[in-house]
A and B are shown apart, each in its own frame.
Chain A
Amino acid sequence: DTGVSQNPRHKITKRGQNVTFRCDPISEHNRLYWYRQTLGQGPEFLTYFQNEAQLEKSRLLSDRFSAERPKGSFSTLEIQRTEQGDSAMYLCASSLSVAGLPNEQFFGPGTRLTVL
């Protein structure tokens, strides 16, 4: 399967615990995006990378959230001291950016986080 993959698919954790999600983009894609989707809402942008550089972060990404893409391939999203409000679907997408033109984003299946 050469699509975007995310692990784990589901995560249940207790409030206050740390969690880490992983996204593996399509191999030749240089851009990687993280979104969050709460029930009944459309996704909301969190952050994106071009290769290993994190180029934009949403104000939604509080200090408890950190994302990395150390080698410009897979990315991790860590949430520290989880809160019940962090419960959501976390979506990853990747794209191939060419000369700054708009490009199609390919989405992974998401990681559903439930904070008890």
Chain B
Amino acid sequence: KNEVEQSPQNLTAQEGEFITINCSYSVGISALHWLQQHPGGGIVSLFMLSSGKKKHGRLIATINIQEKHSSLHITASHPRDSAVYICAVRSDFGNEKLTFGTGTRLTIIP
């Protein structure tokens, strides 16, 4: 079992729909990252969070430390949101290693 599991692996939705991507992890963490990867490989950091909720534009990230679960929400989805979304966790053992999920491929259809 991977330390970081994401669901769904693939998601196709119509423009305007509300999107939820889930991330579950099995280790103690000091922080969780949500990343966006476009075709060609470039990775952009969307959020880093240790508790609660963060919002940036149409993106919202939440984390429940007790349940070891995080969600990334996209409101009013747009075709330009099409990308792979990756969850990554930093362990609480004081090292810098990030452990990544396998990603969720999101496709928004106009």
Contacts and interface: CB of A to CB of B under 8 A. Distances in A.
Interface of A: 31, 33, 35, 37, 40-45, 48, 55-56, 58, 89, 91, 93, 97, 100, 102-107, 109-110, 112
B97 interface: yes
Nearest to A105: B45
Main SS of chain B's interface residues?
strand
Contact of A102 (B31, B45, B100): B31
Given A31-B96, A42-B103, A102 B41 contact: no
Contact of B45 (A41, A100, A107, A110): A107
Most buried by A among B45, B86, B96: B96
Nearest to A95: B96
Given A102-B90, A109-B41, A42 B102 contact: yes
B101 A42 contact: yes
Contact of B97 (A45, A89, A106, A107): A45
B44 A107 contact: yes
B94 A104 contact: no
B50 interface: yes
A56 B31 contact: no
Given A41-B102, A102-B48, 8 more contacts: A40-B102, A55-B96, A105-B33, A109-B40, A109-B41, A110-B41, A110-B42, A112-B41
A102 B30 contact: yes
B95 interface: yes
B43 interface: yes
B99 A45 contact: yes
Contacts of A35: 98
B63 interface: no
B98 A45 contact: yes
A105 B86 CA distance: 13
Nearest to A42: B100
B21 interface: no
Contacts of B102: 40-42
